[in-house]
Amino acid sequence: MGGNIKKIFLAVLLLQAFIFPLSAEVRDFYIEIIPRKNVLEKGEIFTVITSIMNVTQEEQKLCFWTCSYDENWVLEDPSKKIQFYGANCEKNIVTCITLKPLEKFEKELYLQVSESAKEGKVTFKLGFIPCLSREECFETAKEEQAKFLSQEATVKIK
């Protein structure tokens, strides 16, 4: 399966090289979220693995908060009864990394099912708000529009 994913992203790179330069907006990152558990209870705290892949032909710089990583994320639809569960931070710094083409960065993100959530399946997306520098991370408002949306993830609430 890993080979198929690389083929898909190579196709994306080719499309980007020949078609997307004509458009005003180019997508720099592919965002995937994977819940560690698929069946959850009301009020339960759970983790998702966030995967951020550079889908350009050039290296991309990416900065994020080490402890309050949730500050780089927004819920596409807060009415889904999923919310962020912030960590208690003793030390919270901005870290910057460089992603090579097709390289990905993965990190856990903590979420919580609302106590008022209804039983059944919930499908949600997360939006990633990247920082391109340490200074920008300090200035980026949580309410800012997400630059990159993840694919959908589905969990069942019982």
**What is the domain-level CATH number for residue 55?**
2.60.40.10
Q: Which two three-digit tokens encode residue 99?
A: 């992603």
User: Angle at the Cα of 129 (from 60 to 140), degrees rounded to 5?
Assistant: 105
For the record, the structure tokens of 138 come out as 């300090």
41-73, pLDDT tens digit by residue? 999 999 999 999 999 999 988 888 888 888 888
Written as six digits, the tokens of 68 are: 């309050």
Would you state the pLDDT for residue 21?
A: 38
* Stronger pLDDT, 87 or 97, i.e. the higher one: 97
Backbone phi, psi, residue 17, to 5°: -70, -35
Residue 4: pLDDT band (50, 70, 90) is low
**pLDDT tens across 28-44, in order?**
889 999 999 999 999 99
Structural domain that includes position 97: 27-157
CB of 97 within 8 A of CB of 52?
no
Give the residue with greater pLDDT, 91 vs 26.
91
36, part of any domain: yes
How many structural domains is the chain composed of? 1
